């Protein structure tokens, strides 16, 4: 499974990139707005930090403008994946950009039917939002299972399932059990992945025993 981080904070991206766990980054206009910085400048900096795909989202809603924005974003760096919404205009834009050799992340997916259309449009990634479905009383992970099963039925489908709107480590574990290729993870959930009270307890016991031994390694 590939791990992307869902943020536009370049310092957080640098910190996570240093761990060796980070395979890519996803951003959106809302995340960039929180930084108070220029959108293009932020995307370029992120692309300089990571080698993997950096999803940069268009802001337009009509096909013509969306396509031009997508071309501009793709021109920032070779590792930009243009992010488009799962609308008719977004799918048309996806199809055109893919033909030009651009990676495309189709976002705001909430149903298996939408995911089928994203694959038909040639999307590099489809982003189902599990947390937002959980918020309205549905089980977002059921959507991931359905999409993975449908995609696995057809060898021609190369679209990867990018699990988005992740709220907890269990979303990531369940996505792995279902065979999703990618999870895009908020920084705070990234840090929760490593935490376990028994790890902390065991380490404290080991350190106490080592202290009593009076030995040193260096």
CATH code, domain with 14: 3.20.20.70
Does a structural domain hold residue 199?
A: yes
SS3 letters for 96-129? Answer: HHHHCCCEEEEEEECCHHHHHHHHHCCCCEEEEE
Does a structural domain hold residue 188?
A: yes
Is the CB of residue 161 less than 8 Å from the CB of residue 3? no
Is the CB of residue 114 less than 8 Å from the CB of residue 144? no
pLDDT in tens, the chain (218 residues): 999 999 999 999 999 999 999 999 999 888 998 899 999 999 999 999 999 999 999 999 999 999 999 999 999 999 999 999 999 999 999 999 999 999 999 999 999 999 999 999 999 999 999 999 999 999 999 999 999 999 999 999 999 999 999 999 999 999 999 999 999 999 999 989 999 999 999 999 999 999 999 999 99
Does a structural domain hold residue 218?
A: no
DSSP letter string over 67-89? HHHHHHHHTT-TTEEEEEESSHH
**What is the count of structural domains for the chain?**
1
Does a structural domain hold residue 179?
A: yes
Catalytic residue among 2, 34, 83, 201: 83
Return the closest-CA partner of residue 12 out of 142, 26, 152: 26
Active-site residue flag, 83: yes
Whether the model pTM is above 0.85 = yes
Domain limits at 62?
Answer: 2-213
Does a structural domain hold residue 123?
A: yes
């Amino acid at each position: 499974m590939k791990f992307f981080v869902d943020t536009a904070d370049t310092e957080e991206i640098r910190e996570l990139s240093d761990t060796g766990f980070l395979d890519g980054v996803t951003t959106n206009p809302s995340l960039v707005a929180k930084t108070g910085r220029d959108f293009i400048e932020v995307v370029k900096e992120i692309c300089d930090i990571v080698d993997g795909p950096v999803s940069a989202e268009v802001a337009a809603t009509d096909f013509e403008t969306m396509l031009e924005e997508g071309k501009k974003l793709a021109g920032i760096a070779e590792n930009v994946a243009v992010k488009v919404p799962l609308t008719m205009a977004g799918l048309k834009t996806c199809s055109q950009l893919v033909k030009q050799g651009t990676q495309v992340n189709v976002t705001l997916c909430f149903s298996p039917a939408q995911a089928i259309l994203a694959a038909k449009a040639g999307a590099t990634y489809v982003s189902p939002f599990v947390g937002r479905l959980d918020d309205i009383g549905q089980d977002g992970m059921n959507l991931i299972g359905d999409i993975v099963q449908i995609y696995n039925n057809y060898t021609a489908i190369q679209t990867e399932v990018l699990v988005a709107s992740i709220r907890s480590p269990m979303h990531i574990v369940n996505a792995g059990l279902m065979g999703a290729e990618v999870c895009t993870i908020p920084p705070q959930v990234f840090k929760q992945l490593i935490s376990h009270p028994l790890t902390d307890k065991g380490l404290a016991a080991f350190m106490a025993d080592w202290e009593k031994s009076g030995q040193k390694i260096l």
